[in-house]
Chain A
Protein backbone atom coordinates (compact mmCIF):
# COMPACT_ATOMS: atom_id res chain seq x y z
CA UNK A 1 0.00 0.00 0.00
CA UNK A 2 2.77 2.39 0.91
CA UNK A 3 5.04 1.44 -1.95
CA UNK A 4 2.62 1.19 -4.81
CA UNK A 5 0.07 3.73 -3.62
CA UNK A 6 -2.44 0.98 -4.20
CA UNK A 7 -4.95 -0.41 -1.76
CA UNK A 8 -5.59 -4.05 -2.47
CA UNK A 9 -9.06 -4.75 -1.20
CA UNK A 10 -8.66 -8.40 -2.14
CA UNK A 11 -5.75 -8.86 0.28
CA UNK A 12 -7.99 -10.63 2.78
CA UNK A 13 -9.21 -13.02 0.11
CA UNK A 14 -5.63 -14.06 -0.54
CA UNK A 15 -5.35 -14.94 3.12
CA UNK A 16 -8.55 -16.95 2.71
CA UNK A 17 -7.03 -18.78 -0.27
CA UNK A 18 -3.88 -19.44 1.71
CA UNK A 19 -5.92 -20.87 4.58
CA UNK A 20 -7.85 -23.10 2.18
CA UNK A 21 -4.62 -24.21 0.54
CA UNK A 22 -3.19 -25.45 3.80
CA UNK A 23 -6.56 -26.93 4.74
CA UNK A 24 -6.80 -29.01 1.55
CA UNK A 25 -3.15 -30.02 1.72
CA UNK A 26 -3.90 -31.41 5.16
CA UNK A 27 -7.19 -33.04 4.17
CA UNK A 28 -5.95 -34.80 1.06
CA UNK A 29 -2.28 -35.37 1.64
CA UNK A 30 -2.09 -35.10 5.42
CA UNK A 31 0.62 -32.51 5.14
CA UNK A 32 1.24 -30.84 8.46
CA UNK A 33 0.30 -27.13 8.21
CA UNK A 34 3.74 -26.10 9.46
CA UNK A 35 5.21 -28.09 6.59
CA UNK A 36 2.73 -26.88 4.01
CA UNK A 37 4.13 -23.38 4.47
CA UNK A 38 6.86 -24.46 2.09
CA UNK A 39 4.29 -25.24 -0.59
CA UNK A 40 1.86 -22.42 0.06
CA UNK A 41 4.44 -19.63 -0.04
CA UNK A 42 5.51 -20.25 -3.66
CA UNK A 43 1.88 -20.78 -4.62
CA UNK A 44 0.86 -17.46 -3.16
CA UNK A 45 3.90 -15.74 -4.63
CA UNK A 46 2.94 -17.00 -8.08
CA UNK A 47 -0.66 -15.94 -7.59
CA UNK A 48 0.57 -12.50 -6.59
CA UNK A 49 2.73 -12.23 -9.70
CA UNK A 50 -0.17 -13.16 -11.97
CA UNK A 51 -2.61 -10.81 -10.24
CA UNK A 52 -0.21 -7.93 -10.49
CA UNK A 53 0.51 -8.57 -14.14
CA UNK A 54 -3.06 -8.95 -15.35
CA UNK A 55 -5.16 -6.91 -12.94
CA UNK A 56 -3.06 -4.36 -11.09
CA UNK A 57 -0.60 -3.29 -13.79
CA UNK A 58 -3.33 -2.05 -16.16
CA UNK A 59 -4.71 0.22 -13.42
CA UNK A 60 -1.45 1.99 -12.63
CA UNK A 61 -1.43 5.58 -13.77
CA UNK A 62 -5.19 5.56 -14.26
CA UNK A 63 -7.72 7.34 -12.03
CA UNK A 64 -7.57 6.10 -8.48
CA UNK A 65 -11.08 4.62 -8.40
CA UNK A 66 -10.14 2.03 -11.01
CA UNK A 67 -7.70 0.10 -8.83
CA UNK A 68 -10.02 0.37 -5.81
CA UNK A 69 -12.91 -1.22 -7.65
CA UNK A 70 -10.85 -3.72 -9.61
CA UNK A 71 -9.51 -5.13 -6.34
CA UNK A 72 -12.97 -4.94 -4.77
CA UNK A 73 -14.36 -6.83 -7.76
CA UNK A 74 -11.59 -9.39 -7.37
CA UNK A 75 -12.48 -9.74 -3.71
CA UNK A 76 -16.14 -10.38 -4.54
CA UNK A 77 -15.15 -12.95 -7.17
CA UNK A 78 -12.76 -14.84 -4.91
CA UNK A 79 -15.18 -14.89 -1.97
CA UNK A 80 -17.98 -16.29 -4.05
CA UNK A 81 -15.77 -18.66 -5.96
CA UNK A 82 -14.76 -20.12 -2.61
CA UNK A 83 -18.42 -20.29 -1.63
CA UNK A 84 -19.28 -22.06 -4.86
CA UNK A 85 -16.39 -24.53 -4.75
CA UNK A 86 -16.03 -25.20 -1.06
CA UNK A 87 -19.42 -24.12 0.39
CA UNK A 88 -19.92 -21.70 3.25
CA UNK A 89 -19.10 -24.22 5.99
CA UNK A 90 -16.60 -23.36 8.66
CA UNK A 91 -13.75 -25.77 8.21
CA UNK A 92 -11.02 -26.59 10.61
CA UNK A 93 -8.34 -29.22 10.98
CA UNK A 94 -7.61 -31.45 13.95
CA UNK A 95 -3.97 -31.55 14.91
CA UNK A 96 -2.74 -32.65 18.32
CA UNK A 97 -0.60 -29.59 18.93
CA UNK A 98 -3.45 -27.09 18.40
CA UNK A 99 -4.20 -26.97 22.10
CA UNK A 100 -0.63 -27.50 23.30
CA UNK A 101 0.58 -24.92 25.78
CA UNK A 102 3.90 -23.93 27.24
CA UNK A 103 4.03 -22.88 30.87
CA UNK A 104 6.14 -20.06 32.19
CA UNK A 105 5.50 -20.24 35.91
CA UNK A 106 1.85 -19.30 36.30
CA UNK A 107 1.37 -18.17 32.77
CA UNK A 108 0.49 -20.69 30.12
CA UNK A 109 0.79 -19.74 26.51
CA UNK A 110 -0.72 -21.51 23.55
CA UNK A 111 2.17 -22.97 21.55
CA UNK A 112 0.71 -22.32 18.07
CA UNK A 113 0.08 -18.70 19.02
CA UNK A 114 3.60 -18.35 20.35
CA UNK A 115 4.91 -19.77 17.10
CA UNK A 116 2.87 -17.26 15.13
CA UNK A 117 4.24 -14.46 17.27
CA UNK A 118 7.85 -15.59 16.79
CA UNK A 119 7.47 -16.18 13.08
CA UNK A 120 5.79 -12.80 12.57
CA UNK A 121 8.64 -11.01 14.30
CA UNK A 122 11.18 -12.98 12.28
CA UNK A 123 9.43 -12.26 9.00
CA UNK A 124 9.11 -8.58 9.87
CA UNK A 125 12.82 -8.50 10.64
CA UNK A 126 13.64 -10.29 7.38
CA UNK A 127 11.54 -7.82 5.42
CA UNK A 128 13.35 -5.04 7.19
CA UNK A 129 16.71 -6.56 6.21
CA UNK A 130 15.51 -7.16 2.67
CA UNK A 131 14.37 -3.57 2.24
CA UNK A 132 17.56 -2.10 3.63
CA UNK A 133 20.34 -4.37 2.45
CA UNK A 134 19.44 -5.88 -0.91
CA UNK A 135 19.38 -4.26 -4.29
CA UNK A 136 15.72 -5.10 -4.84
CA UNK A 137 14.80 -3.86 -1.38
CA UNK A 138 16.49 -0.55 -2.03
CA UNK A 139 14.79 -0.32 -5.41
CA UNK A 140 11.44 -0.86 -3.70
CA UNK A 141 12.13 1.91 -1.21
CA UNK A 142 13.31 4.24 -3.95
CA UNK A 143 10.18 3.56 -5.98
CA UNK A 144 7.95 4.26 -3.01
CA UNK A 145 9.63 7.62 -2.50
CA UNK A 146 9.46 8.77 -6.07
CA UNK A 147 8.32 6.62 -8.92
CA UNK A 148 9.68 8.82 -11.70
CA UNK A 149 13.10 9.41 -10.20
CA UNK A 150 13.44 5.70 -9.52
CA UNK A 151 12.66 5.01 -13.14
CA UNK A 152 15.24 7.57 -14.24
CA UNK A 153 17.82 5.81 -12.07
CA UNK A 154 17.33 2.72 -14.18
CA UNK A 155 14.99 0.84 -11.88
CA UNK A 156 12.48 -1.28 -13.70
CA UNK A 157 9.46 -0.12 -11.71
CA UNK A 158 7.18 -2.67 -13.31
CA UNK A 159 9.34 -5.40 -11.86
CA UNK A 160 9.47 -3.59 -8.51
CA UNK A 161 5.68 -3.45 -8.39
CA UNK A 162 5.44 -7.10 -9.35
CA UNK A 163 7.90 -8.24 -6.68
CA UNK A 164 6.38 -5.98 -4.02
CA UNK A 165 2.90 -7.25 -4.71
CA UNK A 166 3.96 -10.88 -4.88
CA UNK A 167 5.95 -10.55 -1.65
CA UNK A 168 2.82 -9.25 0.01
CA UNK A 169 0.82 -12.28 -1.07
CA UNK A 170 3.71 -14.61 -0.25
CA UNK A 171 3.62 -13.35 3.33
CA UNK A 172 -0.01 -14.43 3.40
CA UNK A 173 1.31 -17.81 2.30
CA UNK A 174 3.07 -17.93 5.66
CA UNK A 175 0.10 -16.58 7.62
CA UNK A 176 -2.46 -19.05 6.26
CA UNK A 177 -0.84 -22.34 7.31
CA UNK A 178 0.24 -20.90 10.67
CA UNK A 179 -3.28 -19.76 11.48
CA UNK A 180 -4.95 -22.95 10.26
CA UNK A 181 -4.38 -25.12 13.39
CA UNK A 182 -6.00 -22.58 15.71
CA UNK A 183 -8.49 -20.98 13.35
CA UNK A 184 -11.15 -22.05 10.95
CA UNK A 185 -11.66 -21.07 7.36
CA UNK A 186 -14.76 -19.92 5.51
CA UNK A 187 -15.19 -17.88 2.33
CA UNK A 188 -15.59 -14.43 3.92
CA UNK A 189 -12.93 -14.79 6.59
CA UNK A 190 -10.54 -12.49 4.73
CA UNK A 191 -12.55 -9.42 5.36
CA UNK A 192 -12.16 -9.69 9.13
CA UNK A 193 -8.43 -9.65 8.77
CA UNK A 194 -7.98 -7.17 5.99
CA UNK A 195 -9.62 -4.24 7.71
CA UNK A 196 -7.48 -4.81 10.77
CA UNK A 197 -4.44 -4.99 8.51
CA UNK A 198 -5.32 -1.65 6.91
CA UNK A 199 -5.79 -0.17 10.34
CA UNK A 200 -2.38 -1.47 11.42
CA UNK A 201 -0.60 -0.27 8.30
CA UNK A 202 -2.07 3.22 8.37
CA UNK A 203 -1.58 3.56 12.12
CA UNK A 204 1.98 2.35 11.84
CA UNK A 205 2.81 4.74 9.06
CA UNK A 206 2.67 3.67 5.43
CA UNK A 207 5.62 1.75 4.17
CA UNK A 208 7.02 1.25 7.66
CA UNK A 209 7.46 -2.37 8.73
CA UNK A 210 8.40 -1.49 12.28
CA UNK A 211 5.40 0.81 12.54
CA UNK A 212 3.03 -1.88 11.32
CA UNK A 213 4.34 -4.38 13.88
CA UNK A 214 4.05 -1.88 16.73
CA UNK A 215 0.59 -0.79 15.61
CA UNK A 216 -0.55 -4.41 15.40
CA UNK A 217 0.53 -4.94 18.98
CA UNK A 218 -1.34 -1.81 20.00
CA UNK A 219 -4.45 -3.12 18.27
CA UNK A 220 -4.03 -6.43 20.05
CA UNK A 221 -3.83 -4.66 23.38
CA UNK A 222 -6.84 -2.49 22.61
CA UNK A 223 -8.80 -5.53 21.55
CA UNK A 224 -7.98 -7.51 24.65
CA UNK A 225 -8.51 -4.66 27.08
CA UNK A 226 -11.73 -3.38 25.57
CA UNK A 227 -12.93 -6.97 25.52
CA UNK A 228 -13.12 -6.79 29.32
CA UNK A 229 -15.14 -3.61 29.45
CA UNK A 230 -17.29 -3.74 26.37
CA UNK A 231 -19.40 -6.03 24.32
CA UNK A 232 -16.88 -8.11 22.33
CA UNK A 233 -18.22 -6.79 19.04
CA UNK A 234 -17.73 -3.20 20.15
CA UNK A 235 -13.97 -3.59 20.36
CA UNK A 236 -13.85 -3.67 16.58
CA UNK A 237 -15.77 -0.43 16.46
CA UNK A 238 -13.15 1.05 18.78
CA UNK A 239 -10.23 0.46 16.51
CA UNK A 240 -12.13 1.46 13.40
CA UNK A 241 -12.80 4.71 15.15
CA UNK A 242 -9.14 4.95 16.07
CA UNK A 243 -8.32 4.25 12.44
CA UNK A 244 -10.41 7.18 11.19
CA UNK A 245 -8.93 9.45 13.85
CA UNK A 246 -5.36 8.48 12.93
CA UNK A 247 -6.07 8.99 9.23
CA UNK A 248 -7.34 12.45 9.89
CA UNK A 249 -5.15 13.82 12.64
CA UNK A 250 -1.87 12.00 12.16
CA UNK A 251 -1.81 10.87 8.55
CA UNK A 252 1.86 9.96 8.79
CA UNK A 253 0.88 7.29 11.31
CA UNK A 254 1.54 7.04 15.03
CA UNK A 255 4.93 5.46 14.50
CA UNK A 256 5.62 6.76 11.00
CA UNK A 257 8.29 9.23 10.06
CA UNK A 258 7.27 12.85 9.90
CA UNK A 259 6.67 14.31 6.51
CA UNK A 260 5.46 11.16 4.87
CA UNK A 261 1.87 12.09 4.45
CA UNK A 262 -1.01 10.02 3.21
Chain B
Protein backbone atom coordinates (compact mmCIF):
# COMPACT_ATOMS: atom_id res chain seq x y z
CA UNK B 1 0.00 0.00 0.00
CA UNK B 2 2.73 2.43 1.05
CA UNK B 3 4.74 1.54 -2.00
CA UNK B 4 1.75 2.25 -4.19
CA UNK B 5 1.27 5.71 -2.71
CA UNK B 6 4.91 6.65 -3.16
CA UNK B 7 4.86 5.33 -6.67
CA UNK B 8 1.86 7.46 -7.61
CA UNK B 9 3.25 10.57 -5.98
CA UNK B 10 6.57 10.15 -7.74
CA UNK B 11 4.80 9.75 -11.03
CA UNK B 12 2.76 12.87 -10.45
CA UNK B 13 5.71 14.95 -9.35
CA UNK B 14 7.75 13.78 -12.30
CA UNK B 15 4.86 14.76 -14.49
CA UNK B 16 4.64 18.23 -12.95
CA UNK B 17 8.36 18.80 -13.30
CA UNK B 18 8.01 17.90 -16.93
CA UNK B 19 5.31 20.53 -17.05
CA UNK B 20 7.19 23.22 -15.17
CA UNK B 21 10.74 22.74 -16.44
CA UNK B 22 10.23 24.19 -19.91
CA UNK B 23 8.76 27.32 -18.39
CA UNK B 24 11.96 27.96 -16.45
CA UNK B 25 14.12 27.38 -19.48
CA UNK B 26 12.31 29.40 -22.05
CA UNK B 27 12.95 33.10 -22.20
CA UNK B 28 11.74 33.56 -25.73
CA UNK B 29 8.47 35.47 -26.04
CA UNK B 30 7.11 33.18 -28.72
CA UNK B 31 7.59 30.07 -26.63
CA UNK B 32 6.42 31.88 -23.50
CA UNK B 33 3.22 32.71 -25.36
CA UNK B 34 2.70 29.10 -26.32
CA UNK B 35 3.44 28.01 -22.79
CA UNK B 36 0.94 30.52 -21.43
CA UNK B 37 -1.76 29.22 -23.75
CA UNK B 38 -0.92 25.64 -22.89
CA UNK B 39 -1.05 26.17 -19.14
CA UNK B 40 -4.19 28.29 -19.36
CA UNK B 41 -5.94 25.67 -21.48
CA UNK B 42 -4.76 22.91 -19.16
CA UNK B 43 -6.51 24.78 -16.38
CA UNK B 44 -9.59 25.57 -18.42
CA UNK B 45 -10.16 22.06 -19.71
CA UNK B 46 -9.47 20.78 -16.19
CA UNK B 47 -12.20 23.12 -15.02
CA UNK B 48 -14.59 21.78 -17.65
CA UNK B 49 -13.58 18.29 -16.57
CA UNK B 50 -14.86 18.92 -13.03
CA UNK B 51 -18.36 18.86 -14.46
CA UNK B 52 -17.89 16.88 -17.67
CA UNK B 53 -15.42 14.26 -16.50
CA UNK B 54 -16.43 13.70 -12.89
CA UNK B 55 -20.19 14.15 -13.19
CA UNK B 56 -20.52 13.15 -16.85
CA UNK B 57 -22.44 16.34 -17.67
CA UNK B 58 -21.12 17.53 -20.99
CA UNK B 59 -21.46 21.28 -21.07
CA UNK B 60 -21.03 23.00 -24.42
CA UNK B 61 -21.50 26.45 -22.96
CA UNK B 62 -18.40 26.96 -20.87
CA UNK B 63 -17.28 29.87 -23.03
CA UNK B 64 -20.07 31.80 -21.32
CA UNK B 65 -18.32 31.49 -17.95
CA UNK B 66 -14.96 32.34 -19.48
CA UNK B 67 -16.48 35.42 -21.09
CA UNK B 68 -18.31 36.50 -17.94
CA UNK B 69 -14.97 36.43 -16.13
CA UNK B 70 -13.11 38.28 -18.86
CA UNK B 71 -15.80 40.94 -19.31
CA UNK B 72 -16.49 41.54 -15.63
CA UNK B 73 -12.88 42.21 -14.67
CA UNK B 74 -12.14 44.19 -17.83
CA UNK B 75 -15.22 46.39 -17.56
CA UNK B 76 -14.67 46.99 -13.85
CA UNK B 77 -11.07 47.92 -14.58
CA UNK B 78 -11.85 50.28 -17.46
CA UNK B 79 -14.98 51.80 -15.89
CA UNK B 80 -14.28 51.89 -12.17
CA UNK B 81 -10.50 51.43 -12.17
CA UNK B 82 -10.91 48.38 -10.00
CA UNK B 83 -7.85 46.19 -9.80
CA UNK B 84 -8.23 43.03 -11.91
CA UNK B 85 -7.52 40.95 -8.82
CA UNK B 86 -10.80 42.08 -7.32
CA UNK B 87 -12.37 42.05 -10.76
CA UNK B 88 -11.36 38.43 -11.09
CA UNK B 89 -13.05 37.64 -7.81
CA UNK B 90 -16.16 39.57 -8.81
CA UNK B 91 -16.33 37.91 -12.24
CA UNK B 92 -15.75 34.47 -10.81
CA UNK B 93 -18.43 34.97 -8.17
CA UNK B 94 -20.93 36.24 -10.71
CA UNK B 95 -20.06 33.32 -12.98
CA UNK B 96 -20.45 30.85 -10.12
CA UNK B 97 -23.91 32.25 -9.45
CA UNK B 98 -24.85 31.89 -13.11
CA UNK B 99 -23.39 28.36 -13.08
CA UNK B 100 -25.49 27.39 -10.09
CA UNK B 101 -28.67 28.79 -11.63
CA UNK B 102 -27.97 27.25 -15.04
CA UNK B 103 -27.25 23.93 -13.36
CA UNK B 104 -30.40 24.05 -11.27
CA UNK B 105 -32.41 24.64 -14.45
CA UNK B 106 -30.65 22.33 -16.91
CA UNK B 107 -29.63 19.35 -14.78
CA UNK B 108 -33.05 17.84 -15.32
CA UNK B 109 -32.05 17.20 -18.93
CA UNK B 110 -30.38 13.99 -19.89
CA UNK B 111 -27.52 13.28 -22.24
CA UNK B 112 -27.17 15.33 -25.37
CA UNK B 113 -30.11 17.54 -24.46
CA UNK B 114 -28.10 18.97 -21.60
CA UNK B 115 -25.32 19.66 -24.10
CA UNK B 116 -27.75 21.36 -26.48
CA UNK B 117 -29.26 23.50 -23.74
CA UNK B 118 -25.83 24.67 -22.56
CA UNK B 119 -24.85 25.34 -26.17
CA UNK B 120 -27.91 27.56 -26.51
CA UNK B 121 -27.05 29.24 -23.22
CA UNK B 122 -23.54 30.00 -24.47
CA UNK B 123 -25.04 31.60 -27.58
CA UNK B 124 -27.41 33.71 -25.48
CA UNK B 125 -24.50 35.14 -23.51
CA UNK B 126 -22.56 35.74 -26.74
CA UNK B 127 -25.49 37.59 -28.26
CA UNK B 128 -25.98 39.68 -25.13
CA UNK B 129 -22.32 40.68 -25.16
CA UNK B 130 -22.66 41.60 -28.82
CA UNK B 131 -25.90 43.59 -28.51
CA UNK B 132 -25.61 45.29 -25.14
CA UNK B 133 -23.36 47.94 -26.61
CA UNK B 134 -23.77 50.55 -23.88
CA UNK B 135 -22.04 48.24 -21.45
CA UNK B 136 -19.95 45.79 -23.42
CA UNK B 137 -19.04 47.97 -26.39
CA UNK B 138 -20.49 45.31 -28.70
CA UNK B 139 -18.30 43.84 -31.37
CA UNK B 140 -15.66 46.55 -30.90
CA UNK B 141 -14.65 44.88 -27.68
CA UNK B 142 -12.94 46.23 -24.61
CA UNK B 143 -9.41 47.53 -24.53
CA UNK B 144 -7.52 47.11 -21.26
CA UNK B 145 -5.23 49.99 -20.55
CA UNK B 146 -3.11 49.62 -17.49
CA UNK B 147 0.38 50.42 -16.42
CA UNK B 148 2.44 47.33 -15.68
CA UNK B 149 2.61 46.23 -12.08
CA UNK B 150 1.33 43.60 -9.70
CA UNK B 151 -1.63 45.67 -8.54
CA UNK B 152 -2.87 46.01 -12.11
CA UNK B 153 -2.13 42.37 -13.02
CA UNK B 154 -0.23 43.65 -16.02
CA UNK B 155 3.36 42.80 -16.80
CA UNK B 156 5.95 43.61 -19.42
CA UNK B 157 7.38 40.15 -19.42
CA UNK B 158 5.32 37.29 -20.78
CA UNK B 159 6.95 35.02 -18.25
CA UNK B 160 4.95 36.67 -15.48
CA UNK B 161 1.77 35.56 -17.20
CA UNK B 162 3.21 32.10 -17.62
CA UNK B 163 3.68 31.85 -13.87
CA UNK B 164 0.15 33.12 -13.26
CA UNK B 165 -1.22 30.52 -15.68
CA UNK B 166 0.88 27.88 -13.96
CA UNK B 167 -0.63 28.82 -10.60
CA UNK B 168 -4.07 28.75 -12.19
CA UNK B 169 -3.46 25.29 -13.58
CA UNK B 170 -2.11 24.02 -10.27
CA UNK B 171 -5.20 25.31 -8.46
CA UNK B 172 -7.45 23.47 -10.91
CA UNK B 173 -5.37 20.31 -10.55
CA UNK B 174 -5.56 20.73 -6.78
CA UNK B 175 -9.36 21.00 -6.90
CA UNK B 176 -9.46 17.87 -9.07
CA UNK B 177 -7.28 15.97 -6.61
CA UNK B 178 -9.57 17.16 -3.86
CA UNK B 179 -12.55 15.77 -5.79
CA UNK B 180 -10.73 12.45 -6.16
CA UNK B 181 -10.83 12.00 -2.40
CA UNK B 182 -13.80 13.94 -1.12
CA UNK B 183 -17.48 13.27 -0.55
CA UNK B 184 -18.43 15.66 -3.33
CA UNK B 185 -16.20 13.86 -5.83
CA UNK B 186 -17.52 10.47 -4.78
CA UNK B 187 -21.09 11.70 -5.22
CA UNK B 188 -20.33 13.09 -8.68
CA UNK B 189 -18.86 9.87 -10.01
CA UNK B 190 -21.76 7.98 -8.46
CA UNK B 191 -24.12 10.18 -10.48
CA UNK B 192 -22.06 9.67 -13.63
CA UNK B 193 -22.16 5.91 -13.22
CA UNK B 194 -25.84 5.57 -12.34
CA UNK B 195 -28.19 8.25 -11.10
CA UNK B 196 -30.88 5.94 -9.70
CA UNK B 197 -28.47 3.71 -7.85
CA UNK B 198 -26.71 6.76 -6.40
CA UNK B 199 -29.96 8.25 -5.13
CA UNK B 200 -31.02 4.91 -3.67
CA UNK B 201 -27.95 4.93 -1.43
CA UNK B 202 -28.62 8.43 -0.19
CA UNK B 203 -26.63 10.57 -2.62
CA UNK B 204 -28.26 13.90 -3.44
CA UNK B 205 -26.98 13.85 -7.01
CA UNK B 206 -28.75 17.07 -7.98
CA UNK B 207 -27.17 19.12 -5.20
CA UNK B 208 -23.72 17.67 -5.89
CA UNK B 209 -23.96 18.67 -9.56
CA UNK B 210 -25.23 22.16 -8.77
CA UNK B 211 -22.31 22.70 -6.39
CA UNK B 212 -19.69 21.53 -8.86
CA UNK B 213 -21.32 23.57 -11.61
CA UNK B 214 -20.73 26.63 -9.43
CA UNK B 215 -17.11 25.65 -8.77
CA UNK B 216 -16.47 24.95 -12.43
CA UNK B 217 -18.02 28.26 -13.51
CA UNK B 218 -15.99 30.11 -10.85
CA UNK B 219 -12.66 28.70 -12.02
CA UNK B 220 -13.50 29.11 -15.70
CA UNK B 221 -14.21 32.81 -15.13
CA UNK B 222 -10.90 33.24 -13.33
CA UNK B 223 -9.24 31.87 -16.46
CA UNK B 224 -11.15 34.46 -18.46
CA UNK B 225 -9.70 37.33 -16.43
CA UNK B 226 -6.22 35.88 -16.84
CA UNK B 227 -6.68 35.70 -20.59
CA UNK B 228 -8.04 39.26 -20.79
CA UNK B 229 -5.06 40.61 -18.84
CA UNK B 230 -2.68 38.73 -21.12
CA UNK B 231 -4.29 39.93 -24.34
CA UNK B 232 -5.08 43.50 -23.20
CA UNK B 233 -8.15 43.24 -25.40
CA UNK B 234 -11.33 41.18 -25.50
CA UNK B 235 -14.32 40.98 -27.79
CA UNK B 236 -17.25 38.56 -28.01
CA UNK B 237 -15.50 36.39 -30.59
CA UNK B 238 -12.31 35.98 -28.60
CA UNK B 239 -13.82 35.10 -25.22
CA UNK B 240 -17.36 33.87 -25.91
CA UNK B 241 -17.14 31.89 -29.12
CA UNK B 242 -18.40 28.35 -29.47
CA UNK B 243 -14.89 27.30 -30.44
CA UNK B 244 -13.89 27.90 -26.81
CA UNK B 245 -16.81 25.83 -25.54
CA UNK B 246 -15.74 22.99 -27.80
CA UNK B 247 -12.01 23.21 -27.23
CA UNK B 248 -12.21 22.80 -23.45
CA UNK B 249 -13.91 19.38 -23.63
CA UNK B 250 -11.83 18.41 -26.66
CA UNK B 251 -8.58 18.73 -24.70
CA UNK B 252 -10.01 16.92 -21.70
CA UNK B 253 -11.32 14.06 -23.82
CA UNK B 254 -8.08 13.59 -25.72
CA UNK B 255 -6.10 13.66 -22.47
CA UNK B 256 -8.52 11.58 -20.45
CA UNK B 257 -11.77 12.35 -18.64
CA UNK B 258 -12.49 12.19 -14.96
CA UNK B 259 -8.97 12.43 -13.56
CA UNK B 260 -6.89 15.36 -12.38
CA UNK B 261 -4.04 15.02 -14.85
CA UNK B 262 -5.79 13.96 -18.06
CA UNK B 263 -6.67 17.50 -19.19
CA UNK B 264 -3.16 18.77 -18.35
CA UNK B 265 -1.71 15.99 -20.41
CA UNK B 266 -4.15 16.70 -23.24
CA UNK B 267 -3.27 20.36 -23.27
CA UNK B 268 0.47 19.68 -23.42
CA UNK B 269 -0.14 17.20 -26.19
CA UNK B 270 -2.33 19.39 -28.38
CA UNK B 271 -1.69 23.07 -27.77
CA UNK B 272 2.04 23.45 -28.42
CA UNK B 273 1.67 21.48 -31.62
CA UNK B 274 -1.32 23.39 -32.96
CA UNK B 275 0.02 26.76 -31.82
CA UNK B 276 3.31 26.16 -33.60
CA UNK B 277 1.54 24.85 -36.67
CA UNK B 278 -0.57 27.96 -36.69
CA UNK B 279 2.49 30.17 -36.46
CA UNK B 280 4.47 28.29 -39.08
CA UNK B 281 1.73 27.85 -41.60
CA UNK B 282 0.57 31.40 -41.11
CA UNK B 283 -2.40 32.78 -42.92
CA UNK B 284 -1.90 30.85 -46.14
CA UNK B 285 -3.17 27.69 -44.49
CA UNK B 286 -5.53 29.19 -41.95
CA UNK B 287 -7.70 26.54 -40.42
CA UNK B 288 -5.28 23.67 -40.91
CA UNK B 289 -4.46 23.46 -37.21
CA UNK B 290 -8.17 23.17 -36.45
CA UNK B 291 -8.52 20.36 -38.97
CA UNK B 292 -5.76 18.56 -37.11
CA UNK B 293 -7.67 19.19 -33.86
CA UNK B 294 -10.74 17.58 -35.32
CA UNK B 295 -8.88 14.60 -36.70
CA UNK B 296 -7.09 13.95 -33.40
CA UNK B 297 -10.39 14.22 -31.55
CA UNK B 298 -12.19 11.75 -33.78
CA UNK B 299 -9.32 9.27 -33.85
CA UNK B 300 -8.98 9.33 -30.07
CA UNK B 301 -12.74 9.02 -29.56
CA UNK B 302 -13.07 6.05 -31.86
CA UNK B 303 -9.86 4.24 -30.90
CA UNK B 304 -9.04 5.25 -27.31
CA UNK B 305 -12.28 6.64 -25.87
CA UNK B 306 -10.90 6.58 -22.33
CA UNK B 307 -8.25 9.14 -23.31
CA UNK B 308 -4.51 8.97 -23.86
CA UNK B 309 -3.30 9.66 -20.32
CA UNK B 310 -5.18 6.81 -18.59
CA UNK B 311 -4.17 4.48 -21.40
CA UNK B 312 -0.55 5.48 -21.02
CA UNK B 313 -0.45 5.05 -17.24
CA UNK B 314 -2.16 1.70 -17.59
CA UNK B 315 0.47 0.66 -20.11
CA UNK B 316 3.31 1.85 -17.89
CA UNK B 317 1.83 0.05 -14.91
CA UNK B 318 1.55 -3.18 -16.86
CA UNK B 319 5.12 -2.87 -18.08
CA UNK B 320 6.52 -2.32 -14.59
CA UNK B 321 4.49 -5.25 -13.32
CA UNK B 322 5.96 -7.41 -16.03
CA UNK B 323 9.48 -6.31 -15.17
CA UNK B 324 8.83 -6.94 -11.51
CA UNK B 325 7.62 -10.43 -12.18
CA UNK B 326 10.75 -11.17 -14.17
CA UNK B 327 13.02 -10.42 -11.21
Contact = CB atoms under 8 A, between A and B. Distances in A.
Interface of A: 6-7, 55, 58-59, 62-70, 72-77, 79-81, 83-84, 88, 187, 191, 195, 198-199, 202, 231, 233-234, 236-237, 240-241, 243-244, 247-248, 251, 262
A71 B114 CA distance: 16
**Max chain A CB contacts within 10 Å: which of B117, B285, B301?**
B301
Contact of B285 (A84, A198, A243, A247): A84
Interface stretch (B34-42, B143-151, B245-253, B260-268): B245-253
**Closest 9 interchain pairs by CB?**
A80-B287, A77-B294, A73-B297, A83-B287, A76-B294, A240-B120, A80-B290, A73-B294, A237-B127
B117 A65 contact: no
A18 to B, nearest CB: 20
A136 to B, nearest CB: 25
A248 B127 contact: no
Contacts of B63: none
B305 interface: yes
Interface stretch (B24-32, B103-111, B154-162, B173-181): B103-111
B286 interface: yes
A53 B105 CA distance: 36
A187 B250 CA distance: 21
B106 A233 contact: no
A80 B250 CA distance: 16
What interface size band does chain B fall in? 35 or more
Given A80-B287, A84-B291, 8 more contacts: A65-B52, A68-B115, A77-B290, A80-B290, A199-B120, A236-B127, A243-B117, A248-B105
Contact of B127 (A67, A88, A191, A234): A234
Given A73-B294, A76-B290, A64 B111 contact: yes
Contacts of B305: 62-63, 66
**Max chain B CB contacts within 10 Å: which of A6, A80, A231, A248?**
A80
B270 to A, nearest CB: 12
B85 interface: no
A198 B305 CA distance: 26
Chain A binding surface SS class: helix
Contact of A70 (B111, B128, B290, B301): B301
Given A73-B301, A76-B246, A240-B120, A7 B115 contact: yes
Contact of A58 (B60, B286, B302): B302
Given A80-B294, A233-B131, A66 B301 contact: yes
Contact of A247 (B52, B113, B294): B113
A233 B302 contact: no
A238 to B, nearest CB: 9
23 contacts: A64-B58, A64-B111, A65-B56, A66-B301, A66-B302, A69-B301, A72-B60, A72-B246, A72-B297, A73-B250, A73-B293, A74-B298, A76-B291, A76-B297, A80-B291, A195-B119, A195-B120, A237-B131, A241-B124, A247-B116, A247-B117, A248-B109, A262-B110
Nearest to B285: A84
Interface string B83-125: 0000000000000000000000110111111011101110110
A120 to B, nearest CB: 23
Contact of B123 (A6, A240, A247): A240
A195 B122 CA distance: 12
Contacts of B316: none
A84 B294 contact: no
A237 B124 contact: yes
B123 A195 contact: yes
A131 B171 CA distance: 54
